[in-house]
Amino acid sequence: QQKVQQSPESLIVPEGGMASLNCTSSDRNVDYFWWYRQHSGKSPKMLMSIFSNGEKEEGRFTVHLNKASLHTSLHIRDSQPSDSALYLCAASMATGGNNKLTFGQGTVLSVIP
């Protein structure tokens, strides 16, 4: 059983629309959540991280975290074709985890002009 589950597997949104991606960990030892974006053939790049309950916004990107349910979500407003990529969610422990990230399988986002 995978410890980090992402949904949906793929998502198509029109340009200018809102994309919402979900991620849940089944490991109650995790404290930190990370969202990475990977364009085809490129390296995964950290998009946003969240460590506390609540919401964090950076430009068009908003991330939520509910630590009780170990659920995080990423929302992209005013989606652009350049946002089309694989979005990876990862979880890690604050201490004693050696910064080891456990990844989900990812959500493929396609933004259609």
Partner 1 sequence: GPKVLQIPSHQIIDMGQMVTLNCDPVSNHLYFYWYKQILGQQMEFLVNFYNGKVMEKSKLFKDQFSVERPDGSYFTLKIQPTALEDSAVYFCASSDNSQNTLYFGAGTRLSVL
Q: Which residues bind partner 1 (CB under 8 A)?
A: 2, 4, 32, 34, 36, 41-46, 49, 88, 94, 98-106
Which residue is listed with tokens 């396609």?
110
- Whose Cβ is closer to partner 1: residue 43's or residue 113's? 43
Q: Which amino acid is at 82?
A: S
- Whose Cβ is closer to partner 1: residue 46's or residue 112's? 46
- The distance of closest approach from Cβ of residue 14 to partner 1 in the complex, given in angstroms and rounded to an integer, is 28
Beta-carbon contacts of 59 under 8 Å, excluding residues fewer than 6 positions away, are none
Contact call for residues 43 and 95 (beta carbons, < 8 A)? no
Q: Given phi > 0 = left and psi -120 to 50 = alpha, else beta, which region is 107?
A: beta
Length of the chain (residues)? 113
- Whose Cβ is closer to partner 1: residue 15's or residue 29's? 29
- The distance of closest approach from Cβ of residue 113 to partner 1 in the complex, given in angstroms and rounded to an integer, is 26
- The distance of closest approach from Cβ of residue 63 to partner 1 in the complex, given in angstroms and rounded to an integer, is 14
- Whose Cβ is closer to partner 1: residue 96's or residue 113's? 96
- The distance of closest approach from Cβ of residue 5 to partner 1 in the complex, given in angstroms and rounded to an integer, is 10
* Structure tokens, 17: 């629309």
